[in-house]
Structure 1
Amino acid sequence: MLRSRLFLLAPLLVFLALAYLVPFLGVMRWSVTLPEPGLGQYKTALTDPLVLSVIWRTVRICALVTVLAVAMAYIITLLWVRGGPVMRLFVELCILIPFWISVLTRAFGWLALLSNRGIINTWGQEIGIFSEPLALVRNEFGVVLGMVHFLIPFAVFPLASAMRSVDERVLLAARGMGASRARIFWQVFVPMTKTGIFGACLLVFVFALGFFVTPAILGGGRSVLVAELIWLRIFQSPDWGLGAAISVIMMVAIGLLLALTMKYAKGTGR
């Protein structure tokens, strides 16, 4: 039985090894051989003020994006799972349609809306809301907005799974004991969906760490994140060794994060 399972999994394991493991090993080799053998690039990555500032900015922005995206996704998922038929259909379309639009198209769409000569600033000046264009792009605000918009649909699915597994009898029991709707929501419903919240936060945060196109376009080079820094080091400096070292550090950090969160999830599931 075990052999048959391994036989069926073999093509997938070979594909994963060729598509991910082999390139990653190549990046690790660059990090300890370029421009000269040793661990000097790792020392530079962990001590250079520029690299550390980019890493800190990345973690800070990704944490903010995670909170905002999951909070908005929770409201959307609540309408999707517990709303009426018309509301469910409308919300489902709002969730699925963004998957048909590429990340590049979305980023340029936000740029057309938020730039100094974009729709928002043009209309706002024409009707007299503000006299000068607002700085809505080429900063962290534009980066956060674009990332949140892209990641909300990804947070919906783990939240929907958790909400659909909520036992209605528990909610009815709380209602029968005189609890208000707000109290039932915050003290009963939300705690019962904490696994979905946890999964959505993990999914969004890991995705956000690797964002490149949206921060590059909406940040305009003023809010550089780790993925863009790696690209700059490899393709513009060029400093392949340092770019590879930063890549390895981020991969190891993400792996440790996933391991810790999986351990926490198993602990809470007992």
Structure 2
Amino acid sequence: MKSIPRYILLLGPLLLFLGLTYVLPFLGVMRWSVTQPDLGFDQYATALSDPLILSVFLRTLRICALVTVFSVIGAYIVTLLWIRGGPVLRLVMELCILIPFWISLLTRAFGWLAMLSNRGILNGWMESIGLINEPLAMVRNEFGVIVGMSHFLLPFAVFPLATAMRNLDERALMAARGMGASRARVFWQVFVPMTGSGILGAALVVFVFALGFFVTPAILGGGRSVMVAELIYLYIFQNPNWGLAAAISVILMLTVGVLMALLMRIANPAGRGNG
């Protein structure tokens, strides 16, 4: 009788924990989606046909797409300075990347609310120098939500980009420079394409995280830019319809699962080729 491999014994408690804390609750949510209030798939039909729910899904996808673009662009600049900058610049960038992880999401959301509100720091400063005559509406709308989410998710996009930049073959850059290409041309036509896997990985990480955001849209959106996670909350606690909330949750989880599978496929091209 063959002995059980050691790695299975080591992973067993972790898999059991994940099954008890994630799989079982999700199966319960799936059961609610087809049993509350009646047995069937009516809640899925409602979730996929109700104009209000569809508008929230579209808003969520739009906000997540914009957050992904801004986060990845900002993370690319930060990562470039971190990986290819001097010692002092690298230290500064490391602090900029790590310090946000020490501050809670709720604290950062209220910080942006204090910064962007009508009587906030930014509006007060612009009025004091005569740049504007009346406060700009930068919260309780999609702008505030996008700013807050991008600020939170930017550090998560740094790590896939850093991996791609560290694994880049410097000989290709030297060859391009040796053939007379300018620095700008080397960057746009050689460096950026060679870090394409990192860009795609960072975009998928940010997009998947953004789909489930609740606190930041609730605080900075002020109920005017409701996203899917907040809609689920409303259907559970304020306008009780647990079956519909469960159906929306399952659709969201399936979307995240598809995106994560795509991320793993991109991150492991060797495995894809062997298949």
* TM-score category of the 2 structures, normalised to the smaller one: over 0.9
Report the Cα distance in structure 2 between the residues aligned to 1:265 and 1:87, rounded to whole angstroms. 29
Find the counterpart in structure 2 of residue 226 from structure 1: 228
Per-residue CA shift, 1:170-225, capped at 9, x if unaligned?
11111111111011111111111111111101100000001000000000000000
What is the SS of the residue equivalent to 1:93? helix
What is the SS of the residue equivalent to 2:48? helix
Q: 1:154 to 1:261 in 2, by over 3 A?
A: closer
Report the Cα distance in structure 1 between the residues aligned to 2:266 and 2:88, rounded to whole angstroms. 38
Counterparts of 1:76-115 in structure 2, within 5 Å, are: 76-115=78-117
Percent identity at matched positions?
71
Report the Cα distance in structure 2 between the residues aligned to 1:203 and 1:231, rounded to whole angstroms. 23
Alpha-carbon shift at residue 266 of structure 1 (Å): 4.7
What is the SS of the residue equivalent to 2:43? helix
Find the counterpart in structure 2 of residue 52 from structure 1: 54
Structure 1 residue ranges without an equivalent (≥5): none
Per-residue CA shift, 1:221-249, capped at 9, x if unaligned?
00000000000101111111110000001
Counterparts of 1:231-246 in structure 2, within 5 Å, are: 231-246=233-248
Find the counterpart in structure 2 of residue 158 from structure 1: 160
Find the counterpart in structure 2 of residue 21 from structure 1: 23
Alpha-carbon shift at residue 12 of structure 1 (Å): 0.7
The aligned amino acid for 1:46 is L
Alpha-carbon shift at residue 264 of structure 1 (Å): 4.9
Structure 2 residue ranges without an equivalent (≥5): none
Counterparts of 1:178-257 in structure 2, within 5 Å, are: 178-257=180-259
Find the counterpart in structure 2 of residue 145 from structure 1: 147
Report the Cα distance in structure 1 between the residues aligned to 2:126 and 2:263, rounded to whole angstroms. 45
Alpha-carbon shift at residue 259 of structure 1 (Å): 2.5
What is the SS of the residue equivalent to 1:47? coil
Q: 1:39 aligns with which of 38, 41, 47?
A: 41
Find the counterpart in structure 2 of residue 5 from structure 1: 7
Per-residue CA shift, 1:69-120, capped at 9, x if unaligned?
0011001100000000000001110110000000000000000011111111
Runs of 4+ in 1 over 3 A off after TM superposition: 260-270
Q: How many residues align?
A: 270
Q: 1:169 aligns with which of 162, 168, 171?
A: 171
The aligned amino acid for 1:162 is A
Alpha-carbon shift at residue 263 of structure 1 (Å): 3.7
Alpha-carbon shift at residue 2 of structure 1 (Å): 5.7
CA RMSD of aligned residues (A): 1.4
Find the counterpart in structure 2 of residue 74 from structure 1: 76
Per-residue CA shift, 1:124-164, capped at 9, x if unaligned?
22322111110000000000000000000000011001101
What is the SS of the residue equivalent to 1:38? coil
